[in-house]
Amino acid sequence: MTQDRQLIEAAQRLLRAPDEQRLAFIAEDRWIGYSAAKNALSEMELLFEEPSLTRPSNLLLTADTHNGKTTLVKRFAGLHPLVDDPDAARAVRPVIRFDAPATPNEDRFYNRLLRELNAVFKITDKPDKKFFQIKDLLLKVGMRVLILDEINNSLAGTGTQRQQLLNAIKELGNELQRPIILTGNFDALAVLRDDKQIQNRFPPLVLPKWQLDDEFLQLLASFEATLPLRKRSDLASEQLAPLLLVMTGGVIGELSKLLRRAARQAILSQKERITRKALLELPWIPPDQRDQAASAAEAGLQHRLNYGALLADLKYGETEEDEEDGPGQDGGQAV
């Protein structure tokens, strides 16, 4: 049934399960390790183990949208979970992750962090009072690393507002003497470079887009190992790997979403495997084509995708059709 595939144990157990159970399993978030992610986790672990310092080390985890930043910091936080000791005055939270506020506002930054700490506070309290309340709480819960996720969300205001927020982050790190990790896209990296002190304190660690190389093929094999499909798809094959890269723009979050949809369709159609034809039939637009597709739709036009041309442009060339591709499957798709 598995055609010599290596499936993870949970996927293997589900091969004979009802479709509803398999579909639910496919929909779940699942960690898949790869070298860039493991390197980032190692860097974060070094910060975690670092002793308290007058000027602690920090990090800016940078990547394109949907390319694994939040998944990584959630994984890191999960490796250092809350410890609820009934004999202690309060639970220990070694890693605290929270989302950046939607605007570069120092007060909203403090409010967001106080809510994450389940603190009792007044919205009308002065920022200084909130700051010292946060400092006291973070010390009491034994925080070792603070993670502010998607800092780019907070950088859309005026230069003065941004500077106030960045100063608040810097001051908090100095007072706690513990590392702070920021995550953000490349727009955030450009903004932070305008402040030399912040740039020096938060060296960037970049998660690059994927390329058609051995590591990408290994990633595809790892994804396939998590899918409880009853037939082999061979995602890392010459037929599917280049197409999957082009369809997802080399972004791991897009790849995960696309493969979930394709696996779901493979089960519902009873094909039980992901094919080139099935991928091309999905209502899917590559991330770098979505603005064009939206503009065409607004104008009442049809945006036609030609994956054959996209592959040729990237020097991947056309691939042979797999055994389920019928005549005329040239990679064109209208959306």
Is the separation of the CB atoms in 234 and 240 below 8 Å? Answer: yes
Question: H helices within the chain, ranges in order?
Answer: 9-13, 19-27, 35-49, 69-79, 106-116, 127-140, 159-176, 186-192, 196-201, 214-224, 241-248, 252-268, 276-281, 290-298, 307-313
Q: Is the dihedral of CA 89, 91, 94, 96 positive or negative?
A: negative
* pLDDT tens sequence across 182-215: 999 998 888 888 888 888 899 999 999 999 999 9
Query: What distance in Å separates the CA atoms of residue 264 and residue 260, rounded to the nearest whole number?
Result: 6
pLDDT given at position 272: 97
Q: Please, how many CA atoms are within 13 Å of residue 146, restricted to the half-sphere of its CB? A: 27
- What separation in angstroms does the CA of 233 have from each of 2, 4, 10, 17, 313? 10, 12, 18, 19, 26
C-alpha 250: how far from chain center:
13
Query: What distance in Å separates the CA atoms of residue 281 and residue 243, rounded to the nearest whole number?
Result: 13
Give the pLDDT of the chain (335 residues) as one tens digit per residue: 444 578 999 999 999 999 999 999 999 988 998 999 999 999 999 999 999 999 999 999 999 988 999 999 999 999 999 887 666 666 799 999 999 998 888 999 999 999 999 999 999 999 999 999 999 999 999 999 999 999 998 887 778 888 889 889 999 999 999 999 999 999 888 888 888 888 889 999 999 999 999 999 999 999 999 999 999 999 999 999 999 999 999 999 999 999 999 999 999 999 999 999 999 999 999 998 888 888 888 888 888 887 887 787 766 544 444 445 443 334 444 44
pLDDT given at position 173: 92
- Give domain limits for the chain: 9-30+226-334, 35-207
pLDDT given at position 188: 87
pLDDT given at position 330: 42
For residue 143, which of 105, 198, 98, 87 has the smallest C-alpha distance? 98
Pick the CATH number of 35-207 from 3.20.10.10, 3.30.413.10, 2.60.40.1180, 3.40.50.300: 3.40.50.300
Residue in the block written with tokens 């056309």: 318
pLDDT given at position 8: 94
Record the tokens describing residue 116, joined without a space. 């994450």
Query: What distance in Å separates the CA atoms of residue 262 and residue 79, rounded to the nearest whole number?
Result: 30
Query: What distance in Å separates the CA atoms of residue 72 and residue 195, rounded to the nearest whole number?
Result: 26
Cβ neighbours around 310 below 10 Å, total: 19
Query: What distance in Å separates the CA atoms of residue 44 and residue 146, rounded to the nearest whole number?
Result: 11
